[in-house]
């Protein structure tokens, strides 16, 4: 039995800090777009929804070659709305828990596969990773392995990594970041992932150096 049936990839933004004039989900690493790796992770999830905005037709055309049954949700106000608004657009009618996944992430495959088969994987959890990005959102984790706070300033060894399994009706249509919306459900179980977020040229360089260690067989994607 699948731990969850619904997944939302937030891929509407344009990634101005990366400077590639491309949706970040289409940035190529190791010969494949970021979203190809994510679709590989989600291949057994029946309902995959992708929020598009910047150069949306490029994203739609690319994904349809890999995942013809993907559902596309348009965010025409991507340039002036937050990522929580994008997630809200795709999740507002959902009645079941769903996975949130930022479109600019590279996730170690075995970490994701582990959470898919554990008995706790159908419960609410929030993903964290060891701090390595240039602008981390720090996560405070208690002795029960629960996240108790997010902060830009209170430094810890862990940061929010853009992936979570959440109950329906948690994410609102406001201008907050997703992690701010997740504060509503703290304390919540932490799941530790090896994740590389691609926000800046430095992030891209680090992820490129580590792509071979993330467990993907490139020939099997798509």
Tell me how far apart the alpha carbons of residues 75 and 11 are, in angstroms, rounded to a whole number. Answer: 10
**Cβ atoms of 77 and 35 closer than 8 Å:** no
Burial of 156 (0-12, 13-18, 19+ CB in 10 A): middle
Question: pLDDT tens, 99-148?
Answer: 999 999 999 999 999 988 875 566 899 999 999 888 899 999 999 999 99
Q: Output the pTM of the full model.
A: 0.94
The residue that leads in pLDDT, 50 or 222, is 50
**Cβ atoms of 30 and 36 closer than 8 Å:** no
Residue 222 belongs to a domain:
no
Residue 1 belongs to a domain:
no
Residue 149 belongs to a domain:
yes
Q: What is the CATH number of the domain that holds 35?
A: 3.90.550.10
Average pLDDT, the chain: 91
Residue 57 belongs to a domain:
yes
**pLDDT more than 90, % of the chain:** 77
Residue 186 belongs to a domain:
yes
For residue 1, give both structure tokens. Answer: 């039995």
**pLDDT more than 70, % of the chain:** 93
Question: pLDDT tens, 79-112?
Answer: 888 899 999 999 999 999 999 999 999 999 999 9
The residue that leads in pLDDT, 222 or 33, is 33
pLDDT of 176 reads 87
Residue 78 belongs to a domain:
yes
Tell me how far apart the alpha carbons of residues 189 and 153 are, in angstroms, rounded to a whole number. Answer: 22
Confidence of residue 222 (pLDDT cuts 50, 70, 90): very low
Residue 24 belongs to a domain:
yes
Tell me how far apart the alpha carbons of residues 140 and 148 are, in angstroms, rounded to a whole number. Answer: 6
Range of the domain at 13: 6-216
Q: How many domains does the chain have?
A: 1
Residue 80 belongs to a domain:
yes
**Cβ atoms of 128 and 179 closer than 8 Å:** no
């Amino acid at each position: 039995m699948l731990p969850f049936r619904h997944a939302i990839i937030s891929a509407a933004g344009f990634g101005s800090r990366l400077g590639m004039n491309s949706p970040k989900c289409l940035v190529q690493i190791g010969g494949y777009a970021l979203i190809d790796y994510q679709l590989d992770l989600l291949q057994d999830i029946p309902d995959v929804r992708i929020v598009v905005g910047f150069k949306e037709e490029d994203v739609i055309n690319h994904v349809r070659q890999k995942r013809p049954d993907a559902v596309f949700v348009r965010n025409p106000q991507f340039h002036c709305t937050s990522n929580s608004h994008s997630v809200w657009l795709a999740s507002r009618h959902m009645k079941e828990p769903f996975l949130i996944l930022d479109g600019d992430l590279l996730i170690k495959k075995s970490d994701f596969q582990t959470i898919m088969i554990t008995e706790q994987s159908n419960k609410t959890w929030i993903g964290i990773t060891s701090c390595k990005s240039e602008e981390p959102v720090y996560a405070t984790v208690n002795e029960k392995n629960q996240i108790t706070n997010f902060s830009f300033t209170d430094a810890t060894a862990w940061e929010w990594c853009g992936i979570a399994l959440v109950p329906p009706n948690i994410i609102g249509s406001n201008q907050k970041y997703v992690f701010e919306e997740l504060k509503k459900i703290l304390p919540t179980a932490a799941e530790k992932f090896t994740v590389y977020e691609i926000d800046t040229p430095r992030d891209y360089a680090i992820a490129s150096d580590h792509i071979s260690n993330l467990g993907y067989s490139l020939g099997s994607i798509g």
